[in-house]
Amino acid sequence: MTRSWLLVGLLGVVALLNYLDRQVIFSLLPLLRTDLQLTDSQIGLLGAVFLWIYSFCSLFAGWTGQRFGHRQVILLSLGAWSIVTAATGLASGFASLAATRAAMGITEAFYIPAALAMVTAAYPERNRSLAVSLHQSGIYFGILLGGGPGAVAGAALGWRNVFFALGVIGVIYSFVILKALPAPANIQSHTPDYVHATGSILRARGFWPIFAIFAAVSFANWMVATWMPLYLYDRFGFNLQAAGLSATVFTQVSGLLGMMLGGWMADHLSRSRPRGRITAQTVGLLIGAVFMILTGSAATAPLLLAALFLYSFGRGMYDCNVMPVLCDVVRENERSTAYSLLNFAGTFVGGVAAYGAGALRSLIGLDGALLGAGVIILCSAALLARIPTPRTAA
């Protein structure tokens, strides 16, 4: 068990860097917009470029980890995206900035499926949701650090130096992982070829509703992550630091709380009810839907921030149980491939959300887009409640 905790701790830091490096750019957008003369459509396209490239690579990322080893893929992914992060500081205009975002999408896509496969293999079913919650908490801390602290660092040091520093930190930590990350206790002796593995997953009972729900929730999540700092900056007159801090603290702290509760609740319920993890997810989505709708209709900053807090709490309850529910649907040697298919769906529609919200900003406003996202999450909760009872995969 000590070995398992070490694995989760080490990978939690990698998850933190994974999201910090991809998200910090959004808190620096006011500086980038001025320095590089970016338009609203270009800003939206920056988010979309990353997500669409990430989405395409996700189709093969999970299977690559299964075929060549999750540990090796994690090491290469971390080192490569850290170099790309440092290179972002050299951008001289929209084209070069978009190129680094595309490269970031390629290099980061391989981490999450491999890491979650390692974590779920290391922990028994009774503690699986909590273990995933602890790993995924690194994601929330990464987004949190990329928000307020990232904006403060950008204002004090300049946006270029922020990217340089983060790239160096990632390269150094890749050597720590090389020495300290335990090799998996269970190495699959047989990895199906990509076509057979994917076909088996797509035929699995319950996979398609999980796939659709994950895509819908990702649409809302990426809209908030991409546009909320700039929304607070433009609509409510927040300064750079306050916009970045508010858009992250009120979402990530509550998300962490929701994740811890959701992980504990799901593990507890699943010991006596086959649908325990799905029940925890459904409760989370219902909370998230109600308060996402309120986020889109809020007329004051305090009301908006309160709604964001509670939306993210519900989202955390959902997020921490995605992989554990998937483990009940697909075989162990298909888990990282299955999760990478979810990542494909989530990031593809996330790119649509990032670019679409920017393009539609002048038509319906970002508040209208947030209202629509809330309705989508509500429909997802209804679909989740109707998913067939999972049968633990062999």
Spatial separation of the C-alpha atoms in residues 64 and 58, rounded to whole Å: 10
DSSP SS3 for 298: coil
Q: For position 370, which CATH number holds? A: 1.20.1250.20
Domain contains 393: no
In a domain, 392, yes or no: no
Q: Exposed e or buried b for every residue in 133-152, given b needs 16+ CB within 10 A? A: bbbbbbbbbbbbbbbbbbbb
CA distance to 4, 132, 224, 339, per residue, from 323 (Å): 17, 8, 22, 7
Q: Give me the number of domains the chain comprises.
A: 1
11-30 pLDDT per residue, tens: 999 999 999 999 899 888 88
Q: In the chain, which residues have pLDDT < 50?
A: 186-187, 189, 394
Contact, 127 vs 119, CB < 8 A? no
Q: What is the domain range of residue 152? A: 2-181+194-385
- Domain membership of residue 187 (yes or no) is no
Return the pLDDT at 368: 76
> Taking the alpha carbons of 384, 386, 388, 390 in that order, is the dihedral positive or negative?
positive
Contacts of 220 (CB under 8 A, 6+ apart): 288, 292, 315, 353, 373, 374, 376, 377
Residue 269 lies in a domain: yes
Would you say residue 275 lies in a domain? yes
Answer yes or no: is 170 within a domain.
Answer: yes
Report which of 337, 327, 332 is spatially closest to residue 64, judged by C-alpha positions. Answer: 337
What distance lies between CA 59 and its chain's CA centroid? Answer: 16
Tokens of 208: 């398609």
In a domain, 313, yes or no: yes
**Rounded CA separation 380/374 (Å):** 10
Residue 186 falls inside a structural domain: no
